[in-house]
């Protein structure tokens, strides 16, 4: 057992940004402050050639434990805003709908 103590754990060096959480709709969190914790572009399983953004959030904290949720969006405005400040994640924000698009405030 001791001979393996100094071997690093996968989580210590992994850069894979696997996003986990309960799947929700963006409508469930619209106009509510959330904590955005991650974003990842993924290929659509439903529409060939389309890219969707999977966004991980904390939508509530219960008993000092964060509740993680994820939602999918093709909103380029939302993705651009989150990607621009990806190095500041996690951060608090509210997603609002302006005419036909979603944006952060």
Dihedrals φ, ψ of 81, to 5°? -65, -45
Q: What is the pLDDT of residues 54-91, one digit of tens each?
A: 999 998 888 889 999 999 998 999 999 999 999 999 99
User: What are the beta bridge partners of residue 43?
Assistant: 51
Token duo for residue 65:
């434990």
Task: Please report the pLDDT score of residue 15 as a whole number.
Answer: 61
At 42, the pLDDT band (50, 70, 90 cuts) reads confident
Chain centroid to CA 89: 9
pTM to 2 decimals?
Answer: 0.77
Q: CA 97 to CA 99: how far, in whole Å?
A: 6
Q: Is 78 or 3 the better-scoring residue by pLDDT?
A: 78
Q: What is the pLDDT of residues 11-26, one digit of tens each?
A: 676 666 678 899 999 9
Q: Residue 28 has what DSSP assignment?
A: G
Prior bond to 90 cis, omega within 30? yes
């Amino acid at each position: 057992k001791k001979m393996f103590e100094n071997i690093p754990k996968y989580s210590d060096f992994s850069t894979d940004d696997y996003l986990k959480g309960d799947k929700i709709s963006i409508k469930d969190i619209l106009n509510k402050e959330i904590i955005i914790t991650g974003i990842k572009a993924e290929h659509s399983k439903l529409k060939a050639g389309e890219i969707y953004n999977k966004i991980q959030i904390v939508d509530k904290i219960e008993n000092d434990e964060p509740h993680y949720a994820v939602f999918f969006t093709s909103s380029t405005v939302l993705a651009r805003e989150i990607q621009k400040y990806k190095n500041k994640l996690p951060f608090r924000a509210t997603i609002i709908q302006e005419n036909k698009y979603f944006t952060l405030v």
